[in-house]
Homo-oligomer: A and B are copies of this chain.
Amino acid sequence: MSTREDGRADDELRPIRITRNWLDHPAGSVLVEFGRTRVLCAASASEGVPRWRKGSGLGWVTAEYAMLPAATNTRSDRESVKGRIGGRTHEISRLIGRSLRAVIDYKALGENTIQLDCDVLQADGGTRTAAITGAYVALADACAKLNVPAALTGSVAAVSVGIIDGVPRLDLPYVEDVRAETDMNVVMTGDGKYVEVQGTAEGVAFDRAELDALLSLAEKGCADLTRLQQEALVRA
């Protein structure tokens, strides 16, 4: 019997919604929802690559993550107004970029750049994993639109897991996230391999058995998300 506030089983995802083509301008765009977490993912394509890559025949994929000021419980200041990007933002932008690049064949993409913008409209935990999961779908749409489907070598999804009161749980909302003793974000390919594992002890260090349990839970969650991504991509 679950003791989670929202009634979910410990290994159950929140309700996931993937809405494609939410915007008119970019090559791909997705509004992805993990429960109340809502992230707008846009994949903008442009010809050419950054200077350091010119003439290589290879493409490039990069990502930027940001949060609207009113996305959080208490309003947070704009990074544009502060004049500098915080460490957390940098860290997540880099994570999203690396994760998506793991399933890109640069050669098949050709000298084109796809810029992923993941803007959190509403935050309730798991924004980075929702962003990666949604960005993959936007990226797939962009590759299709660019007529380079072979540029995608696989799919990628991400989920958070954590230990709350000694129990491993999948896909943490904010209320669970702040109470977690250990917090892990796992990015996996559609065929069950790891792209990123980022586990952090919050307060108490964790042992190998706990680590193993979290990895298994994440595998389950990523498999579920992979299925939901595929379903979204076959919808008209």
Contact = CB atoms under 8 A, between A and B. Distances in A.
A44 B69 CA distance: 9
A208 B215 contact: yes
A139 to B, nearest CB: 13
Given A44-B70, A68-B117, A80-B79, A197 B198 contact: yes
A122 to B, nearest CB: 6
A53 interface: no
Given A64-B69, A66-B80, A196 B189 contact: no
Contacts of A121: 23, 40
A198 B198 contact: yes
A75 B26 contact: yes
Interface string A35-47: 0100010101010
Interface residues of A, number: 65
B80 A87 contact: no
B201 A102 contact: yes
A86 B86 CA distance: 10
A187 B34 CA distance: 30
A52 to B, nearest CB: 13
A29 B205 contact: no
B208 A194 contact: yes
Contact of A122 (B25, B46, B88, B194): B25
Contact of A194 (B42, B89, B205): B205
A83 B81 contact: no
Contact of A196 (B64, B78, B199): B199
A73 interface: yes
A98 interface: yes
Interface of A: 23-26, 29, 36, 40, 42, 44, 46, 64, 66, 68-75, 78-81, 83-91, 93-94, 98, 102, 115, 117, 119, 121-122, 124, 154, 184, 188-189, 192-201, 203, 205-208, 211, 215, 219
Cβ-closest 6 pairs across A and B: A87-B90, A193-B205, A42-B70, A79-B80, A44-B75, A80-B80
